Chains A and B, each alone.
Chain A
Amino acid sequence: MPRARLIGLMLLFLGPAVAVYTLFSIYPLLATISLSTYSTTDTGDHVFVGLANFTTLLTDEVWSKPFWNAFFNNFLLFCVHMVVQNPIGIALAGLLSLPALRFRATYRTLIFLPTMLSVVIIGFAWNLILSPLWGVAEGLLKAIGLGSWFAPWLGLPSTALVTLSLISVWQFIGIPMMLIYAALLNIPEELVDAARVDGLGQFRIFTHIKLPLILPTIGMVSILTFVGNFNAFDLIYAVKGALAGPNFASDILGTYFYRTFFGYQLQVGSPTMGATVATVMFLIILAGVCVYLFLVQRRMLRYTF
């Protein structure tokens, strides 16, 4: 093919995708990072201040206290997902992939249903269910004799964040379940048959044969969880509002970013400080992705069947 013709074709096929993607995804990201090195003066002009915004964010009490609070809350959100969501997801996938299981498709479809719905709707629905006003959760606990366990979990500073994390786990469990289920189905029959001939039961086959083979998928699920959690916002905002109450107990980086950028109550929003928080979030996510790409994924053996 002549060179000019090839260039023309490339422009035609790649042009629209590259243009929209660069203009509305890469450029805003770079512009945000660049804006984080500026400060707004009283006259509304932007002046270059180097890394001063970052120093303010990380050391000035007014900024750093809510920032670290949001950061550690976010980390807890991630931990709850890793400890609760992913193991249960793996277990459900393991059960669903058992040979000759009836109603497999029905279970799979119904368990995945909450994942399809908006976080906002899920948040409100659980807000109602857990509300002491309605008393559904309390009534159910009473019915099984655990009535005294009930507390307005979403309203207490000590339990609000964990409760919200568990609501998120409840919703998104379908994703690890599906990804791992797909990986389990890809394991060749011969391997499982060989293990069975050697006398291994289903449980041992799962823990000794299948689980090591799907480790790359578990690694991928973990990084998806990490990126999703450190970028989360919708659930906390829907249930708790931008102030992420009670007393910022459920504040995460996403809601902190929103308040910094748009302002709240008497505090005026600041695009430059908003950009600074966004840049820090970017660096956290980048660090997570790098750890995954260079430490986790490289060391894992990939089996191609």
Chain B
Amino acid sequence: MRSRYTIFGVHVILLAYTLLATLPILLVIMNSFKSRNAIFGSPLSPPNADTFSLIGYTKVLGKSHFVTYLLNSMIVTLGSMGLVLLFGAMAAWALTEYKFRGSTLLALFLSIGIMVPIRLGSVAIVAMMRQSGLNDTLTALVLVYVAQGLPMAIFILSEFIEQIPKDLRDAARCDGVPETRIFFEVIAPLLRPAIATVAVFTMVPVWNDLWFPLILTSSDSTHTITLGVQQFVGQYTTDWNSVLSALSLAILPIVVIYVIFSRQLIAGLTSGAVK
């Protein structure tokens, strides 16, 4: 059968690409658990009883503020994510539910940020943060990331709210439920499936961002994990154990979260993007 060979060929191609995509990451993680000699002697073999070593990890955790960086990244990511979801859902609801003069114009205004990167305003952002005393604080990062994430979140959540049956809010309105309660108690709980989509588009770029931590934070206590790793690796380039361990420490949390939530994340990505 021709088709059996074809399917075999398809699997060969996909498998080859999968290896190309994952092996470099695996290589870094694998070698981070090896002694210096083994890293250079046999880079492609996994660690065994002789070559296993955690020296890199002890050095990284001893020499850098790794735990602080990790906590900062979590605070900034979850903080901006929560605010993007709250403000974004409220705005999306108002724009789709109440048509008023200028609502189309306002929606257009809010969508500028989907295409125009907020980075281009960096010069003024740095000046603003210095003037307001927010420079070198996590608050500054959260504010910038909320502004960055809102346009896409409002776009995705509006599409989602359009699909919620009108009867629900009409029924609530007939019962005399106030508008604010309709949103927070009827609509907001229904938005849960859209959270995954918003998460892909707002959380991942925030966690991985180097630019704003680089220009807005200057002390170790406010660095995020991405900036922390960048500076650590830049400083200890010749200490391969430390470099590989630092990279692995930055990779592992993401990989674990990704493996747990990959189904929702990918469903979110594919459903939000088609429109």
Binding site for B on A (CB under 8 A): 6, 9-10, 12-14, 16-18, 20-21, 23-29, 31-32, 35, 92, 95-96, 98, 101-103, 105-114, 116-121, 124-126, 128-129, 134-136, 139, 170, 173, 178-179, 181-183, 185-186, 202, 217, 223, 227, 231, 233-234, 237-238, 241, 254, 257, 261-262, 271, 274-275, 278-279, 281-282, 285-286, 289
Contact = CB atoms under 8 A, between A and B. Distances in A.
B21 A110 contact: yes
B25 to A, nearest CB: 7
17 contacts: A12-B180, A18-B106, A24-B144, A26-B109, A28-B128, A92-B17, A95-B14, A107-B18, A116-B254, A134-B39, A178-B266, A178-B269, A179-B273, A182-B274, A261-B122, A285-B120, A286-B116
Contact of B24 (A125, A238, A289): A125
A109 B119 CA distance: 30
Contacts of B7: 98, 101
Contacts, number: 251
Interface residues of B, number: 91
B237 to A, nearest CB: 9
B75 interface: no
Contacts of A129: 24, 27
B28 A125 contact: yes
Contacts of A185: 270
Interface stretch (B52-60, B64-72, B205-213): B205-213
Given A14-B95, A116-B258, A32 B18 contact: no
Interface string B198-229: 00000010011111001100000000001001
A21 B146 CA distance: 8
Given A14-B90, A21-B151, A24-B128, 6 more contacts: A17-B90, A26-B112, A105-B263, A108-B266, A135-B43, A285-B116
B22 A110 contact: yes
Contact of A118 (B183, B210, B215): B210
B94 A9 contact: yes
Interface in B1-18: 6-7, 10-11, 13-15, 17-18
A151 to B, nearest CB: 19
Nearest to B3: A202
